[in-house]
Structure 1
Amino acid sequence: MSKKRHSGADDDKEKTVAKKRKRPCGLTMLPYEIISTIFIQSSNPSLPIVCKALYQQLYYCPDTLKIAFLMHRTKNDPEKALEEASRFRFFSYALMERLDKMTQRTVMFCNKKIPSRLFLAEPTETLQERDQLILALLERGASPNRPKGYPIIKSALLGRLDQVKLLVSFGADPTAQNNMALRACAGRNNREMVDYFLDELKVKPDSETLKVCVQKNLWDMFQLLVDHGAIPDMSTIAVS
């Protein structure tokens, strides 16, 4: 009997030890100030998604904390911090202004790529804010062309004539990727956009753009391009 009792007591003790081992480390139980410091010092952007509790505390933290994280991560280089910030979903116009105030100057974004997500059609509720960010980054020296003409091509695809004009005013190349922007709006039968490329920017249409119009039976657009100097070649005739 004593052996059985002893064995049962040992089992209970082992279960208690096992339960203690399974307990969480207690990071989420630390004060917010300590968690914030750990987040900054870790330079690890994945920390907020370790668990729901940390996500709620860190993902929606003040911009000052995000900037402190970015500055530590980039060894207190404001330009690198701004470039790094642009890669995160939390990047905003307000955060950029806060960085300016903290450094007491306008932080530049010279020849850097504008985040591609800013040019997407969705979500529409953030469109105005994204347009504001695009303009602000261009004013700070962002490249209107990198990567490979994507900004103007994507804007043309979406029918954003206002965005195309903005990019051109900052030096975007309307002929990037062999007239891809013109081809995109011609293929969508966007007469207003096509007129802008042909009449104001003097872009010369090519046979590839004609081919797109033939494939989509856009004969009025086809004729417009021909009137502006596009010459059909054998491949265009074959498509028709």
Structure 2
Amino acid sequence: MSDNLTIEKLPVEVLQQIFIFSSNHNFPLVSRTFYQIATAHSSVKTHWLLHKVHYDFKHVLDRGLKWKFFNKDILLQLDNLYYQSQVNSESMKPTTFIPFDEGSIPPRLLTMPDPDGKAYEMVKILLDRGASPDEPQGYPLLKSVSLGRLAMARLLISYKANVSIGDNSAMLISVDKNNFDMVKLLMEHGVKPDAKSLEKSIKKHLSEMTQFLLDHGAIPDGNVIAAIHNDTH
């Protein structure tokens, strides 16, 4: 036997299985060979993830979405494996996709740069599968509003996100950002400009926003009057 024989010279298929059964996400860091093995094909990541969760399809999405490598291709592969597992178990009504009832949208999908719209697409897929547009505590909409991501905010609202959560926090954030499009979107879905929003715009010297809010029904209260007084003295 050659002294130069190493584990890395085993067939690719064997190395892939070693990585999958290791269940260790740091394994690819052992060498360049294992890094290439782990990252070359999405199917390897899919089977690694499934093995890591002990083939528990009920929780594979919740666990898988925490990893940055998780994408639509892996999701569709998991769907196919899920369907096959139901067929093999002679399920009466096999479903073609893994449900995500009341699951939470991963924060990274709401904050990562998304020039190609892949994060948006994944969020929509999760919402279609039952993900909550609100959990936790209105974070998806509030973060989208804070980042000025109008399309994402509109998507969440179309899936019944609570536009008034946190005492109209979304409106306050939109006014603070001087984002007219976001303010209009919220108003289209029932959020009414209130005294707090008006006070915010006055304190930030947003004259156009202040007038816009007044024109659309914001009623000054004592705090607003005080803010106007302080602004003019």
TM-score bucket of the superposed structures, by smaller chain: 0.7 to 0.9
2:29 maps to a residue whose letter is I
Unaligned runs of 5+ in 2: 1-5, 84-95
Comparing both structures, which one devotes a greater share of its residues to helix?
A: 1
Unaligned runs of 5+ in 1: 1-25
Q: Which residue of 2 aligns with 1:132?
A: 121
Q: Which residue of 1 aligns with 2:55?
A: 76
Offset at residue 63 of structure 1 (A): 2.3
* CA offset digits 1:140-195 (Å, max 9, x no partner): 11111122212111222233333222111212111123222212222222223212
Q: Is the 8 A contact 2:57 2:82 kept in 1?
A: yes
Offset at residue 38 of structure 1 (A): 2.4
Q: Is the 8 A contact 1:213 1:221 kept in 2?
A: yes
Q: Which residue of 2 aligns with 1:39?
A: 19
Instruction: For residue 172 of structure 1, give the secondary structure of its aligned residue in structure 2.
Output: coil
Q: Is the 8 A contact 1:114 1:143 kept in 2?
A: yes
1:140 maps to a residue whose letter is R
Superposed, which structure 2 residues align to 1:180-195 within 5 Å? 180-195=169-184
Distance in 2 (alpha carbons) for counterparts of 1:64 and 1:216: 52
Superposed, which structure 2 residues align to 1:25-174 within 5 Å? 26-58=6-38, 60-104=39-83, 105-120=96-111, 122-124=113-115, 127-174=116-163
Q: Is the 8 A contact 1:210 1:236 kept in 2?
A: no
2:135 maps to a residue whose letter is R
Distance 1:62-1:79 versus aligned 2 partners, 3 A rule: farther
Q: Is the 8 A contact 2:133 2:156 kept in 1?
A: yes
Q: Is the 8 A contact 1:183 1:209 kept in 2?
A: yes
Q: CA RMSD in A?
A: 2.6
Distance 1:68-1:222 versus aligned 2 partners, 3 A rule: same
